[in-house]
Chain A
Amino acid sequence: MSGASGNPRAALTLSGIHANIDQYHILEGVDLVVPAGELTVLLGRNGAGKSTTLRTIMGLTTIKAGRVRFGDHDITGWPTPRIARAGIAFVPEHMGVFGQLTVRENLVLAAINGPMDEDRLAWLLDLFPPLKKFWDRPAGNLSGGQKQMLAIGRAVIEPRQLLLIDEPTKGLAPAIINDLADALEQLKAEKVSILLVEQNFNFSRRLGQSVAVMNDGRVVHTGSMAELATDDALQHRLLGLGLGAHQ
């Protein structure tokens, strides 16, 4: 079944996805290719359908039409746990950290294939030192930035092929945003495919290799980040803002 229609360089391909939340038609034919081993940034205004796109990939909203292809599999309509076990990790906007569980327990839960690999755990704790410091404390007591580290840590405690990360910088202090960017750089170096929803253009410009822009439930532009970052007119047209105005 290996994809005759699939692009071998694509980690994930969405074709013509329509999805609703309750009675609202949120995605109206999303076509998107996430290249393998690259970080793709998904940009767009509030309400453009970025978060819903991630949730739809994860099987958390019902697909009305269209196909989702992940590697060799057509995962359209798969239940969420099966999608997760196929190798997609999802860090939602609200982070979804289990506050009653300790940092350790959050990570144990995320390591679905058995005990955590010691080397990988050491690497992770090196990447996010606060996790080590608060190892046996309830995750609910962590600060926003530390929760975000835990949320991303959970997603990468075992190697996954694709990470979906929704606005990791939201509400975080600039110094912490920098730390996060450093960590994502490391993950990029590991050749994990990442689809990142981000409103902070400086952050996404630094990390993104390719970019897709959504508007009104459709992808209206795809290309390289370098191209978008240097083209003020394009930015203005797609995002409705100049770089200078958006920090």
Chain B
Amino acid sequence: MPTTNHTAAPAGTPARLGASIRQFRDQHPHWFLLLGLMLAALLLMDFTTWLVLTLSGAAMGAMLFLMASGMTLTFGLMNVLNLAHGAFISLGAFAGATTLLFWLNDQAAASSLWLNLAGVLPALLFAVLVAAAIGLMFEWLVIRPVYGDHLKQILVTVGGSIILMQLIEVVWGPNEIPVPRPEAFSGAVVVAGIALEKYRLWAVALGVLVYALMTWVIERTRIGILIRAGVEDREMVEVHGYRVRLLFLGVFIAGSALAGLGGAMWAMYQELITAHMGDELMISVVVIIILGGLGSVKGCFFGAILVGLINLYVGFLEPRLAAVATVGLMVAVLMWRPQGLIPVIRV
């Protein structure tokens, strides 16, 4: 028990504190790293700046989580290295933008929250559906012949990615497209004198919601049991009467749909999209799933928030280092825990 008596055990208390920190570090490495990073940043800047950067970083992390969670499912659980994942991010962005620009422009341009939601929610839904539908075809045409062979997966998914992105350019043209962010999601709310951007708050809320939903499905439902079992021993899942192929097809579609959702959210965040935006985001996505631990949804969530935060913190403190911060974080985590923060796959 900690003591307030300063004369008692002058050497013992710090040692005990050190021991309990070490224990916390080993049992909750994801919390340890997240809190440590936030604390370190707080010491280097004033509180208001820190709070705004933390929210921005968390929002960026939440959107990166949406994109990366799909990839951690397909790579971590099905052992499929889908380098076309970025193309699904782009697809989601363009599908969402199309909805807002052409079909529900009135709702998006209105100045009521409910009308805006009536534009944004269908846009997100359409992004999810387009990415899921293309994901279904992609699995069938591209992934199915190369299950179990990483080298072939890399070759065909890079090829598939190029085709998908060129198709986006065929449909939407090669130029950048500006995406309107509806009014209810623009601007900021002021809390205790600090301006917090609304869209970022929404992004964090959606990220946490999707994280909770995925955790619930994987931990609590029969589908989740089957997915976890299928990762461990496909043959025994089939022996119990389940068609693993269908299960994995479903996971792949869900992963693509999540990429689409993340892409659409990112489109409204950046307010400018290109066919190759997915490729640019893939670097962060790959870093996140590796440092989080392959196949771990929880690790992916914390990894994404960490990447978002370190980007914003370092970007503020030393902009020239922002580009290396993400990769530096991954290298540091892997030196500490070679299998990532929360590994689920025993290699």
Contact with A along B204-245 (1 / 0, CB 8 A): 000000000000000000100110110111011111111100
Contacts of A46 in B (CB 8 A): none
Question: In the complex the two chains form, is A112's CB within 8 Å of B242's CB?
Answer: yes
Interface residues of B in 42-98 (CB under 8 A from A): none
Indicate whether A110 sits within 8 Å of B225 (C-beta atoms), given known contacts A60-B235, A96-B235, A98-B233: no
Contacts of A98 in B (CB 8 A): 228-229, 232-233, 236
Contact partner of A99 among B232, B239, B344, CB < 8 A?
Answer: B232
Q: Is A125 an interface residue (CB 8 A)?
A: no
Question: In the complex the two chains form, is B236's CB within 8 Å of A85's CB?
Answer: no
Question: In the complex the two chains form, is A109's CB within 8 Å of B233's CB?
Answer: no
CB distance from B242 to the nearest CB of A (A): 6
Measuring CB to CB, which residues of chain A are less than 8 angstroms from any residue of chain B? 58, 60, 79-81, 84-85, 90, 92, 96, 98-101, 105, 108-110, 112, 154
CB distance from A135 to the nearest CB of B (A): 15
Contacts of A101 in B (CB 8 A): 225, 228-229, 232
Contacts of B242 in A (CB 8 A): 81, 112
Contact with A along B328-347 (1 / 0, CB 8 A): 00000000000000001000
Interface residues of B in 249-265 (CB under 8 A from A): none
Contact partner of B228 among A90, A100, A154, CB < 8 A?
Answer: A100
Query: Which single residue of chain B is at the shortest CB-CB distance from A154?
Result: B240
Question: In the complex the two chains form, is A112's CB within 8 Å of B239's CB?
Answer: no
Q: Please, how many angstroms separate the alpha-carbon atoms of A17 and B235 in the complex?
A: 22
Q: Please, how many angstroms separate the alpha-carbon atoms of A99 and B241 in the complex?
A: 19
Question: In the complex the two chains form, is B228's CB within 8 Å of A84's CB?
Answer: no
Count of B residues near A, CB < 8 Å? 18
Contacts of B232 in A (CB 8 A): 98-101
Question: In the complex the two chains form, is A108's CB within 8 Å of B222's CB?
Answer: yes
Question: In the complex the two chains form, is B243's CB within 8 Å of A109's CB?
Answer: no
Q: Can you spell out 5 A-B residue pairs with CB atoms less than 8 angstroms apart?
A: A60-B239, A79-B243, A84-B241, A96-B236, A108-B222
Contacts of A105 in B (CB 8 A): 225, 228-229
Most buried by A among B229, B241, B344: B241
Q: Please, how many angstroms separate the alpha-carbon atoms of A96 and B240 in the complex?
A: 11
Known: A60-B239, A81-B243, A105-B229. 7 other contacts (CB 8 A): A79-B238, A90-B239, A92-B236, A101-B228, A108-B222, A109-B229, A154-B240
Query: Which single residue of chain A is at the shortest CB-CB distance from B221?
Result: A108
Q: Please, how many angstroms separate the alpha-carbon atoms of A78 and B229 in the complex?
A: 22
Most buried by B among A60, A92, A100, A108: A100
CB distance from A89 to the nearest CB of B (A): 8
Q: Please, how many angstroms separate the alpha-carbon atoms of A109 and B222 in the complex?
A: 7
Q: Please, how many angstroms separate the alpha-carbon atoms of A109 and B235 in the complex?
A: 14
Query: Which single residue of chain A is at the shortest CB-CB distance from B231?
Result: A100
CB distance from B211 to the nearest CB of A (A): 20
CB distance from A205 to the nearest CB of B (A): 28
Contacts of A79 in B (CB 8 A): 238, 243
Q: Please, how many angstroms separate the alpha-carbon atoms of A187 and B240 in the complex?
A: 19
Q: Please, how many angstroms separate the alpha-carbon atoms of A101 and B229 in the complex?
A: 7
Contact partner of A108 among B225, B236, B344, CB < 8 A?
Answer: B225
Query: Which single residue of chain B is at the shortest CB-CB distance from A164?
Result: B239
Query: Which single residue of chain A is at the shortest CB-CB distance from B224?
Result: A105
Query: Which single residue of chain A is at the shortest CB-CB distance from B222?
Result: A108
Question: In the complex the two chains form, is B229's CB within 8 Å of A80's CB?
Answer: no
Query: Which single residue of chain A is at the shortest CB-CB distance from B235?
Result: A60
CB distance from A147 to the nearest CB of B (A): 12
Contacts of B226 in A (CB 8 A): 109
Q: Please, how many angstroms separate the alpha-carbon atoms of A81 and B243 in the complex?
A: 6
CB distance from A53 to the nearest CB of B (A): 15
Q: Please, how many angstroms separate the alpha-carbon atoms of A109 and B242 in the complex?
A: 9
CB distance from A91 to the nearest CB of B (A): 9
- Nearest first, the 9 A-B pairs at minimum CB distance are A84-B241, A96-B236, A80-B238, A112-B241, A85-B241, A98-B229, A105-B225, A81-B243, A81-B241
CB distance from B299 to the nearest CB of A (A): 15
Question: In the complex the two chains form, is A109's CB within 8 Å of B239's CB?
Answer: no
CB distance from B293 to the nearest CB of A (A): 14
CB distance from A180 to the nearest CB of B (A): 20
Query: Which single residue of chain A is at the shortest CB-CB distance from B345?
Result: A100
Q: Please, how many angstroms separate the alpha-carbon atoms of A16 and B75 in the complex?
A: 42
